[in-house]
Each structure stands twice: as C-alpha cells, then as structure tokens.
Amino acid sequence: MKTNSNLKKILVCIILAGTLLSAAACSKQDEEVPTSAPEANIQSDAYEEKIAYCLEQIATLEARLAEKNQEIYVSESQYQFEISALEATISSLKAQISAMSGSLGSGGDTSVDNSQSNNQDTQPEQSKTAQFTYIKENNGVTITKYTGNGAEVTIPEMIDGLPVLCIGEGAFASTGVKSIIIPEGVQKIDWFAFQACTQLTEISIPASVTKIEYGAFEYAKPAFIIKCSKGSFVEAYAKSWGYICVAE
C-alpha cells in the first residue's frame, strides 16, 4: 500500500513539474514575439519616402518640359525672323535687278551715257579725310573707300558735320583690315563692302543697320566674327548666312 501511495505522489510531482515548465516556455515565447506596430511604421516611412521621391521627379520633369516648350517658342520666333531677313534680302536683290534692267533697256543710246559722263554736276562730289573718301547724299555721308593703312578701324559717327549713314559699295574690299567698329547711326552696308577682306577677324555692327546688300562679306575669313545687338536685323542676317555671331 505504501508503495502505491509513493508512486502516486511521484506521478503528481512529475505532472506538476511538467505543467510549470510548459507555462514558463509559453511565457518566454510571448515575450519574444514582436508586435506588428513597428513593422507598420517602417512600411509607412518607406511609402512616404517613395511619394516624396516621385513628387521631386515630377517637379524636375515639369521644369524640363517648360524649358523645352520655351526653346521651341524661341526657335520658331528666331526661324521666322531669319526667314523675314532672307525674304527682305531677296526682294532687295530683285528690285535692284529690275532697276538695272530698266536702265539697260532705256539707256541703249550711247549719247545719253556720254552726256551723263560729261555732266559732273549730276554726280555727288567726292571728298576725302585722312582715312576715307566719301560723298554727301541724303543729308548724310556714304563712305566710298577706305584709304588708311591701319588694321584696326573705327568708323566715325560724323564726317564733315554729317552723320555716316552708309558703307558704300566695295568701300573696304581687298584691304588688310583686321577689326572694324561701325558706329550707331549707320543704316546700310552696300554691295561687296568688305569683299575679300581675308584678314578680317571681327566686325561690330550696330542695331541701326537694317540693310546689308549681297556679297558684303564675300571671301572674308571663314572664322570672322560679327558682333551685334541681340534680336537685331544683323543677328538674323548673320545666322541666315552662317556667319559666327556674338549677340549681346
């Protein structure tokens, strides 16, 4: 009987010990399992970073799109300006051809030519300074020839009390000039004015110039620079003919 009693006691102790060990293990597992809140916070932060990145990229791309639209507008405006300059040059050439053709048609009588050559009063009087020969016409001066020796030339605004309005036909042709400054007030650069100026490296042309005739820079140095005002007729002319242009 005592033996059976002892066995029962031992079994009860084993069961109690097992129960206590199982309870302790469950409590430890509960402590080790993390809650879901930190995971949710990490995921939320990641989404916010992605959203901020996407917004930043959208702003950058929208700015680039605006720049491209502006470039297209400027290009189209410049294109139209250059086309207008070319059309004006073509119209001027056609008008001059028509005028010369009319003169040939009505001037077949050589006696008319002789009378004109004998009548010096019909021709503007040539005058001369230290560097230029010129004529007075249209309340201004047209430079007809550069007679100086300097490589760097600054054309005066006034000669003999009158404004310089025109650089005449072939005025600087085949000279050794390297740089030229044309003053504000000059309105026209005539045919072949700087033809074969092979030493010319740069020329400054003011915004007042609104007409440049054919061949003005024919045979000039390929890399010579035209300096002019931004948005001026000269800028459009230079670009339409493929000259290097510095517009300010």
Clarify whether residues 83 and 165 are in a common domain. no
214 and 142 in a common domain: yes
**Distance (Å, whole) CA 228 – CA 234:** 6
Collect the ranges in the chain with pLDDT lower than 50: 2, 33, 108-121
Residue-range definition of the domain harbouring residue 70: 51-90
Place of tokens 């309870």: 23
Query: What is d(CA 46, CA 53) in angstroms, rounded to the nearest whole number?
Result: 11
154-175, pLDDT tens digit by residue? Answer: 999 999 999 999 999 999 999 9
pLDDT attached to residue 129? 86
Q: Is residue 18 part of a domain?
A: no
Q: What is the pLDDT of residue 156?
A: 96
Nearest Cα residue to 130 out of 160, 90, 108? 160
The pLDDT, as a whole number, for residue 117 is 44
The pair of structure tokens assigned to 136 is 């007075």
Cα 152 to Cα 15: distance, rounded to the nearest angstrom: 117
Give long-range contacts, CB 8 A cutoff, 24+ apart: 231-235: 232/207, 233/85, 233/207, 233/209, 234/205, 234/206, 234/207, 234/209
Q: Please tell me the predicted confidence (pLDDT) of residue 196.
A: 92
Report which DSSP code applies to 157. S
Whether 119 is covered by a domain: the verdict is no
CA pair distance 108, 183, nearest whole angstrom? 41
Q: Can you spell out the DSSP letters for 160-177?
A: TTEEEEEE-TTTTTT---
In terms of domains, do 156 and 66 share one?
Answer: no
- 235, 245 in Cβ contact below 8 A? yes
- The pLDDT of residue 56 is 81
Number of domains in the chain: 2
Asked if residue 118 belongs to a domain, the reply is no
